[in-house]
């Protein structure tokens, strides 16, 4: 069994599609199918249930995937420990970003400036092999291993010439009838906002879903609608283009947390990167507060 087979199997397992996995791995589909076939022959069992072109990870596949994940985690930890032992300063850092995607470029720039020996790999959403995760919650507590780096309010962003901008205060009722734009339903911020709306018995008129905050802001600027948005983490992007307003009778809060993957080896260099990113977020929040 080869390491490459394990890596390719994990991608197939995550997508449950040979064609999608082949596309992600940049290899030919027939070649990937043969790799899976050889792996199953070596293990003496099928890892997927097949119905036509559709494949589904079965019980044997789930058992094998568990050990594959442990193998990759162990190899990654070995690589980091050897790097620390030999004094090599090159460090790959896998960062899963489930929140504050508008700040990724700034975070990367800060790391390049202050820690040029680190190579950050950002994954928007989730990633099994993450070292550091940036995530969202509705409350200040997100587990014993997490650190809260930002606490902010959620309101609405709208064009500067929008009729709602003329109101001294905006209420839920004022939003009735206006088209609203939202990030996709799997986005963590969308889930938090949806929970607040449900608790307030509010049914926003969502007419468009988009994949990124930058597209959302562009559409708002062009008059396609308005949107809910975090105040602090989105400020550097919308501040000169759009108006941010709180909703008087529906207070919403958003918390940004950082988590270290304790299943992997935490080297001194990795801890240094973690501290640097956390400080960057906290400094960002402090600078924003100073402008208010």
Q: What is the tens place of the pLDDT at every residue in 174-192? A: 999 999 999 888 888 899 9
> Is 268 in a helix, a strand, or coil?
helix
The pLDDT of 161-166, averaged and rounded, is 94
Residue 79: CA count within 13 A, CB half-sphere: 12
The Cα–Cα gap between 12 and 10 comes to 5
DSSP letter for 93, please.
Answer: E
Can you give the residue ranges of every domain in the chain?
A: 3-72, 90-292
Q: What region does 75 belong to: left with phi over 0, alpha with psi -120 to 50, or beta?
A: alpha
Cα distance between residue 77 and residue 266, in whole Å:
8
Instruction: Decide which of 1.10.10.10, 3.40.50.2300, 3.40.50.620, 3.30.499.10 is the CATH code for 3-72.
Output: 1.10.10.10
Contact 246, 252 (CB under 8 A): no
- Strand 242-245 versus strand 146-159 pairing type: antiparallel
Averaged pLDDT of the chain: 86
pTM above 0.75, yes or no: no
The alpha carbon dihedral of 9, 11, 17, 23 has a sign of negative
User: 292: how many CB neighbours lie within 10 A of its CB?
Assistant: 7
**Residue with token string 């970003």:** 97
For residue 206, the cross-strand partners are 180
Report d(CA 283, CA 74) in Å as an integer.
Answer: 34
pLDDT at 73 over 90: no
- A 10 A CB-CB count for 262 gives 8
Residue with the two structure tokens 């072109």: 53
The fold adopted by the segment(s) 90-292 is D-Maltodextrin-Binding Protein; domain 2 (3.40.190)
Structure confidence at residue 253 (pLDDT) = 93
Residue 195 has pLDDT above 90, yes or no: yes
pLDDT at residue 126 above 90? no
Least confident segment among 14-18, 161-165, 179-183, 249-253: 14-18
Q: Which of 134-138, 165-169, 284-288 has the lowest mean pLDDT?
A: 284-288
Identify the DSSP state of 187: S
Question: Which band of pLDDT confidence, cut at 50, 70 and 90, is reported for residue 143?
Answer: low
* 91 close to 269: Cβ distance less than 8 angstroms: yes
Q: How far apart are CA 219 and CA 102, in angstroms?
A: 16
Pairing of strands 118-124, 242-245: unpaired
Which of 237, 253, 92 has the alpha carbon at shortest distance from 157? 237
Section 72-100 average pLDDT: 77
Nearest C-alpha neighbor of 200 from the set 228, 220, 222 = 228
């Amino acid at each position: 069994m080869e390491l490459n087979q394990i890596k390719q199997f994990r991608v197939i397992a995550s997508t449950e599609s040979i064609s999608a996995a082949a596309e992600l791995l940049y290899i030919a589909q027939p070649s990937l199918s043969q790799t899976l076939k050889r792996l199953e022959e070596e293990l003496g069992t099928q890892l997927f249930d097949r119905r036509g072109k559709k494949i589904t990870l079965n019980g044997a596949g789930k058992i094998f995937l568990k050990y594959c994940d442990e193998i990759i985690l162990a190899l990654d930890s070995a690589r980091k420990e050897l790097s620390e032992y030999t004094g090599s300063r090159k460090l790959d850092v896998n960062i899963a970003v489930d929140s504050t995607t508008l700040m990724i470029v700034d975070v990367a720039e800060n790391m390049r400036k202050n820690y040029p020996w680190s190579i950050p790999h950002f994954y928007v959403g989730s990633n099994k092999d993450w070292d550091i995760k940036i995530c969202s919650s509705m409350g200040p507590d997100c587990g014993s291993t997490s650190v809260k780096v930002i606490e902010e309010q959620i309101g609405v962003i709208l064009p500067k010439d929008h009729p709602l901008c003329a109101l001294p205060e905006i209420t839920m009722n004022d939003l009735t009838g206006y088209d609203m734009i939202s990030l996709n339903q799997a986005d963590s911020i969308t889930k938090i906002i949806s929970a607040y709306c449900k608790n307030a018995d509010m049914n926003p008129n969502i007419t468009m879903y988009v994949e990124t905050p930058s597209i959302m802001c562009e559409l708002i600027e062009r008059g396609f609608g308005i949107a809910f948005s975090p105040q602090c983490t989105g400020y550097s992007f919308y501040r000169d283009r759009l108006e941010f307003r709180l909703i008087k009778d529906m207070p919403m809060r958003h918390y940004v947390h950082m988590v270290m993957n304790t299943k992997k080896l935490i080297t001194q260099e990795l801890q240094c990167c973690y501290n640097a990113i956390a400080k960057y977020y906290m400094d960002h929040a402090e600078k924003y507060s100073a402008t208010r």
